[in-house]
């Protein structure tokens, strides 16, 4: 084997390993994160809105939309596991902290920790950082594959042919389905805004179980590893309701944390 060939194979293996790591995934993509933030903002109580704006003023020009992708931008080996959790196929999508969130390193525990910081009386700089994390992680948890199966690394190992290219199922849900949305991001935002989601209890574990159940539905993993034209048509309502639910739950969580500081 020649040296250039060895280098090429080494680069190929490295790319495969990186693609296989859940920590490399980018849930929903920046556009969907911004949609969640924008729709949530309209559901804040007056007190929550005032406190969010006060914290954002620490960085002039920042908005909830602009900070919502931040946690992906600063992802590190320490924080990578905070963006997702893995279920085993025999878990029946039932969350067990010991099995699914070892050491508190998963998105469920990360949301709970950061909400405590945000709702506490610590330095405003730390509370703003927590706001950044909460806004991002709650959206992450509603991308179904961020609460998917560990054996395929949340869809990263499930290779598919989609829109004329080879990719993996996680990437399809992160960005490709949003990019293919009829009418683009404005149309998706309008569809999400039109959904009505009832207020509820802040319960990240239950949200994770619901996302896992979506992954478990028949046809979620496309047969033959090929995305048929009707896949987006069938999954479109799921995307809409998941983004709308993320926005409602982000608003509920912030209303609870900021209206009653601990």
3-state secondary structure of 166: strand
234-249 residue pLDDT tens: 999 999 999 999 999 9
pLDDT of residue 8: 44
Look up the CATH number of domain 26-259. Answer: 1.10.575.10
pLDDT of residue 198: 94
Instruction: Check: CB of residue 18 under 8 Å from CB of residue 24.
Output: yes
Q: What does the block give as tokens for 232?
A: 């987006």
pLDDT of residue 229: 85
pLDDT of residue 17: 38
- For 163-188, b/e burial (b = at least 16 CB within 10 A) is eeeebbbbbbbbbbbbeebeeeeeeb
pLDDT of residue 23: 39
3-state secondary structure of 76: coil
Instruction: Check: CB of residue 151 under 8 Å from CB of residue 91.
Output: no
Instruction: Check: CB of residue 206 under 8 Å from CB of residue 138.
Output: no
Residues in the chain where the model's pLDDT stays below 70 = 1-27, 260-262
Residue 18, C-beta contacts closer than 8 angstroms, at least 6 positions apart: 24
Q: Where are the domains of the chain?
A: 26-259
CA angle 28, 29, 31 (to 5 degrees): 105
């Amino acid at each position: 084997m020649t040296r250039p060939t060895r280098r090429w194979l080494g680069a190929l293996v490295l790319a495969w390993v990186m693609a296989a790591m859940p920590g490399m995934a980018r849930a929903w993509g920046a556009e969907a994160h911004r949609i969640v933030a924008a729709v949530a903002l309209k559901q804040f109580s007056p007190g929550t809105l005032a406190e969010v704006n006060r914290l954002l003023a620490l960085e002039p020009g920042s908005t909830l939309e602009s900070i919502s992708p931040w946690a992906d931008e600063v992802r590190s080996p320490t924080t990578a596991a905070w963006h997702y959790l893995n279920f085993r196929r025999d878990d029946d999508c039932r969350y067990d902290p010991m099995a699914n969130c070892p050491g508190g390193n998963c998105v469920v525990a990360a949301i709970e920790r950061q909400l405590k910081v945000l709702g506490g009386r610590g330095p405003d700089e730390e509370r703003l950082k927590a706001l950044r994390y909460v806004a991002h992680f709650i959206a992450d948890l509603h991308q179904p594959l961020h609460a998917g199966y560990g054996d395929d690394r949340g869809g990263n190992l499930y290779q598919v042919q989609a829109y004329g290219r080879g990719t993996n199922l996680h990437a399809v849900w992160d960005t490709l389905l949003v990019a293919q949305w009829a009418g683009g991001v404005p149309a998706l935002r309008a569809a999400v805004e039109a959904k009505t989601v009832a207020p509820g209890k802040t319960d990240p574990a239950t949200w994770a179980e619901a996302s896992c159940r979506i992954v478990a539905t028949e046809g979620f993993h496309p047969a033959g590893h090929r995305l048929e034209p009707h896949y987006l048509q069938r999954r479109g309502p799921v995307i809409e309701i998941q983004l709308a639910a993320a926005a409602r739950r982000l608003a509920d969580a912030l209303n609870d944390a900021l209206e009653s500081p601990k």
